[in-house]
Structure 1
Amino acid sequence: MGAGHSHSDGHRHGHSHAQADYGNAFMVGIILNAGFVIVEAVYGWISGSMALIADAGHNLSDVLALLLAWAASIAAKRPGSERFTYGYKSSTILAALLNAGLLLLAIGAILFETLNRIAEPPVVEGEKMAIIAGIGIVINAGTAALFMRGQHDINIRGAFLHMAADALVSAGVVIAGLAIMWTGESWIDPAVSLAIVLVIAWGTWGLLKDSVAMSMLGVPKGISENRVRAYFFALPGVEAVHDLHIWPMSTTETALTVHLVIPSGHPGDAFLQEVAHELQQRHNIGHTTVQIEIGHNDCRAGC
């Protein structure tokens, strides 16, 4: 049986997005949001606003999320070792999974206190509530803007979406504060808190689902296993395709291994290089390993 091997490094071929340095963006975002969490929590407690405290709890989880994303982005750039031959690229996946867990804890704590406030709505100072949340809109929107250019990196995109969503949540708190000022109805505050919990839960579910799938080496979103398989079958001389595996190495890099049965003989290095190039261009798979088998329909694990 003849065999061939090809490994395509996306950076070597110049098709993968380079790992941009967002260290300054993370630092500024963390400092701004950590400071705002303290201010928001204090004024939420003084004004009796559960909506402000709920938003502060969410913003605290975002500070931790930024810290985790930052640490993971740094670790992902470290080279491989004898034990971790892929390096620490998958740390970005672990960071996403941990962030989802932190958000679930925040949801539980906020929901518990909010339900108590619904049973006995306290007097809320709507004006302070609206002013502090208005500051939150500026800080969260400004932080989101720091990550606007990194949308090709799911890890960076997650930070952007987190902060953009927080800006919208803060806008909801402003609306609640103004409504309380105009109507004097304190029940509006816990009602908005519930809405905030729903917004957080919606985003958390998506993050949890995607991070669990990636941690279990699921085929990354945007890549179709059927289309990749069809591409291999369309190659000249390929009689069978088996042991096809596609998995995420990190939140931005994907790997693939496959066995191609070509009875006519090994097609040569040029063939393997072309396959690697096409997988990168068509399917955004930058790390490929292709084994050529010349035995007729040598399919051990199902084609």
Structure 2
Amino acid sequence: MVLKLRDRQRVAIAIAITFSFFVCELIVAFKTQSLALMADAFHYLTDLLGLVVTLTAIFISERPDSPQDLSFGWQRARLLGAFFNGAFLLALGVSILLQSIERFISVREVEDVKLVLIMGSIGLVLNIISVVLLHGKHTLNTLNTPKRDLGMVGAMLHVVGDALNNVAVITAGAIIWFTSSPMRFYADPAVSMAISVIIFLSALSLVKKSGRILLQSAPRGVNLADVKHDIEKIPGIESVHELHVWQLDQLKAIASAHVTVSDSNIDTFMEKAKTIGECLHAYGIHSTTLQPEIMCTPLGPGGGNGRQLPCQVMCGKGKCEELMCCSTTSIVQEY
């Protein structure tokens, strides 16, 4: 039955669980003066914000309509949510690390360790439930699947990070409870520091993956030089310039290019365009915009053969030169 729930329902239930435990853990953390428990409680708060962002992104991405100024619609909403989730986690990791360093300098005694252990154990059980709820049978291989929805991966990282935090809290509580060394209270800030490192590393990967797509990078494994070389091997195509390949979201890749051809017949260009599409299909690119340019060789100063100039369709002669991708500056550099 869990696997039949929609993403929005899974995240909504996880939000309810997270909020309830956050309130309880925060109260206990203040009572026991446990930094590890306090750190875990504020991690839950960040998780709560992250899950709310994820849920909002899901609602937005599923909207059938979009403002006219969003020509691609809401297709990047989940990616934006994943990026914000990662940013929240990075900030939290740094914050907990600074608190841990402060507690190492001024160590405090943890009160009512038994209560800390109980809260850590309850939190671990709830996080295991949330993990299964969010990802079901895909839990074990979520982080190893490149095409997994980064929005849900962000939610997954929050919950998995919480589970690791709970293990750390239980470990610190057990050390304080079952040992009598005067150094035992350093276990609390030490565990908090470990928590901060775990949070930071998990968030770094999420920010990097979502950030690359938001920056319109080429899909992994796609080398623009190879794509250009393959297209220029097509008969009748003289050159390719202003080739751009970027990711719209995790699944969709888009390409655009200026293609110089030797034949001005539109029918033959459509045949070449079809071949180009088949070539790009092999790279996982299924949406392409091509600008055809006819091969023309201007005469040199002495009437001899000149050189083919790219970008025959230019913008106006005003102050837009620096704003164009294909400018006379790039022509001079290339030729």
TM-score (norm 1): 0.79
| Aligned-partner Cα distance in 2 for 1:126–1:286 | 59
In the other structure, the counterpart of 2:175 is 179
- The percent of aligned pairs where both chains have the same amino acid is 27
| Secondary structure in 2 matching 1:164 | helix
In the other structure, the counterpart of 2:317 is none
Structure 2 vs 1, CA of residues 198 and 272 (structure 1 numbering), >3 Å: closer, same or farther? same
| Aligned-partner Cα distance in 2 for 1:31–1:255 | 39
In the other structure, the counterpart of 1:62 is 47
| Secondary structure in 2 matching 1:288 | strand
In the other structure, the counterpart of 2:310 is 299
In the other structure, the counterpart of 2:252 is 253
In the other structure, the counterpart of 1:188 is 187
In the other structure, the counterpart of 2:199 is 200
Q: Which residue identity does 2:129 align to in structure 1?
A: G
In the other structure, the counterpart of 1:159 is 155
Q: Which residue identity does 1:147 align to in structure 2?
A: H
Say yes or no: does 1:37 pair with 2:22: yes
Structure showing greater radius of gyration is: 2
| Aligned-partner Cα distance in 1 for 2:169–2:278 | 50
| Aligned-partner Cα distance in 1 for 2:51–2:71 | 27
* Deviation (angstroms), 1:247: 2.2
- Say whether the 8 Å CA contact 1:155–1:251 is kept in structure 2: no
Task: Report how many aligned residue pairs link the two structures.
Answer: 283
| Aligned-partner Cα distance in 2 for 1:134–1:227 | 54
Q: Which residue identity does 2:42 align to in structure 1?
A: G
* Deviation (angstroms), 1:271: 5.3
| Secondary structure in 2 matching 1:284 | coil
TM-score (norm 2): 0.73
- Alignment RMSD (CA, Å): 2.9
Structure 2 vs 1, CA of residues 113 and 291 (structure 1 numbering), >3 Å: closer, same or farther? same
| Secondary structure in 1 matching 2:23 | helix
* Deviation (angstroms), 1:180: 2.0
Structure 2 vs 1, CA of residues 52 and 276 (structure 1 numbering), >3 Å: closer, same or farther? farther
Map 1:80-99 onto structure 2 (within 5 A): 80-99=66-85
List runs of 5+ in structure 1 lacking aligned partners: 1-19
In the other structure, the counterpart of 1:284 is 284
Q: Which residue identity does 2:22 align to in structure 1?
A: V
Q: Which residue identity does 1:189 align to in structure 2?
A: D
| Aligned-partner Cα distance in 2 for 1:35–1:85 | 40
Q: Which residue identity does 1:181 align to in structure 2?
A: W
In the other structure, the counterpart of 2:13 is 28
| Secondary structure in 1 matching 2:237 | coil
| Aligned-partner Cα distance in 2 for 1:157–1:231 | 35
List runs of 5+ in structure 2 lacking aligned partners: 297-307, 312-325
- Say whether the 8 Å CA contact 1:140–1:167 is kept in structure 2: yes
- Say whether the 8 Å CA contact 1:136–1:170 is kept in structure 2: yes
| Secondary structure in 2 matching 1:257 | strand
